[in-house]
Amino acid sequence: MRKILFATTALAMAISGSAPAFAEFNSRNIRVSNGINADHPVGNGIKAMQECLDQKSGGKLKLTAFWGGALGGDLQATQALRSGVQEAVVTSSSPLVGIIPALGVFDLPFLFSTPAEAYKVLDGKFGDQMNQKLDASGLVNLAYWENGFRNLSNSQHPVTKWEDFSGLKVRVMQNNIFLDTFQNLGANATPMAFGEVYSALETKAIDAQENPYVTIDTSKFFEVQKYVTETNHAYTPFLFLFSKAIFNTYTPEEQTALRECAVVGRDVERQVIADLNKKSLEKIKEAGLQVNQLSPEEQARIREKSMIVYEKHKAQIGPDVVDGILAELKTIRGN
Ligand code: TK8
């Protein structure tokens, strides 16, 4: 009898001995919405993040992704986070400038020149400063994921120089800085939510849009466009945002797991984008689109003429924010 009792107690102890590792975790269903499709590298990032969460939480923290704007566009989903009715969203920073004007700094044309320097700024002190502003607006940014360098596509003619933008009906994100950048280029710019872009291109309500190659590929814009120009005019980050109202109800262990695993997912997502970029470009060409680069002279000319946008929006973004990022880029570039 004693032996049995001892055995049972030992078993119970063995079980409870392993249990405390996950005792601080509750079963959570975390809805993550996106405007892009499941085959975008964000899909790979979410998968990697889930594997990490499974390990840390013993399978208790579950991500459920909603693709193609199924839970609403970037802005709508972000507002749902702020009011605590949705857990998470992977969103572009650009449509959120109405909530946090400082985020407009990432919309400034030709700000970043390489992914590497963008990572240094976003994953470092400057990114933290922006995270504090997001936090003050009810949004916890778990990590900066990647959207990538944006390029122009259109259905009208090749764009090889400044003058070719003239009169092009270009969809821009719901963001004043993008609106001004394209108006300044002579385009007829129209702000529009991402979810409406494909059909607006298809029905010729607009001629053009701008997004990274990976999005032109996975959101199938190549089906309704004829020309692509490698403009690299902006690198706008994705934010992996969590509702602060909901985050605050989670245990510290759950919060830490989410933060750490969002970084694991980020690294996978960025790597997949780096690998997919070339393949997406090949796919776009194979679909029959004409792709061109800008000559270095023309690239420099467009860049130079776009600098007026910095002055125009500095006050609204916050002079300290604009000067801060430019100073940090100077240090990173070593000049
Ligand atoms: C997807 C958007 C998209 C962005 C845009 O929801 O709106 O053009 O680049 O990726 O965030």
Q: Tens of pLDDT along 93-146? A: 999 999 999 999 999 999 999 999 999 999 999 999 999 999 999 999 999 999
Helices (H), the chain: 2-18, 20-23, 41-57, 74-82, 115-122, 125-136, 176-184, 197-202, 213-218, 244-247, 252-286, 296-306, 308-317, 319-333
Nearest residue (by CA) to ligand 1, atom 9, is 211
pLDDT score of 226 = 98
Complex ipTM tops 0.95: yes
- Whether pLDDT at 240 is above 50: yes
CA–CA gap between residue 82 and residue 121 (Å, rounded): 26
Average confidence (pLDDT) over 195-216: 98
Residue with CA nearest ligand 1 atom 1: 35
What's the confidence (pLDDT) of residue 3? Answer: 53
User: What integer pLDDT is reported at residue 205 of this predicted model?
Assistant: 98
Measured between alpha carbons, how far is 255 from 26 in angstroms, rounded to an integer? 11
Q: What burial class does residue 305 get, using C-beta atoms within 10 Å of its C-beta: 0-12 exposed, 13-18 middle, 19+ buried? A: middle
Q: What is the mean pLDDT of residues 298-305?
A: 97
Tell me the CA end-to-end span of the chain in Å, nearest whole number: 80
Residue 335 is predicted with a pLDDT of: 77
Residue 92 in contact with ligand 1 by CB distance below 6 A: yes
Question: Does residue 209's CB lie within 6 angstroms of at least one atom of ligand 1?
Answer: no
Please give the domain boundaries of the chain with CATH numbers for all domains.
Answer: 27-94+114-146+237-276 (3.40.190.170), 151-234+280-333 (3.40.190.170)
- Say which residues have a Cβ less than 8 Å from residue 252's Cβ, sequence separation at least 6: 24
CA distance 81 to 122: 22
Cβ of 36 less than 6 Å from ligand 1: yes
Q: State the distance from the centre of ligand 1 to the C-alpha of 36, rounded, in angstroms.
A: 7
Helix axes 308-317, 319-333, angle to 10 degrees: 120
Evaluate if residue 9 carries a pLDDT over 70: no
Question: Is the Cβ atom of 153 under 6 angstroms away from ligand 1?
Answer: no
- CB-ligand 1 contact for 35 (6 Å cutoff): yes
Rounded average pLDDT over 264-288: 98
Closest to 207 measured CA to CA, from 161, 155, 133 = 155
Report the distance separating Cα 91 and Cα 75, nearest Å: 8
Checking if the pLDDT of 16 tops 50, the result is no
Using the mean position of ligand 1's atoms as its centre, give its distance from the Cα of residue 92 in Å.
6
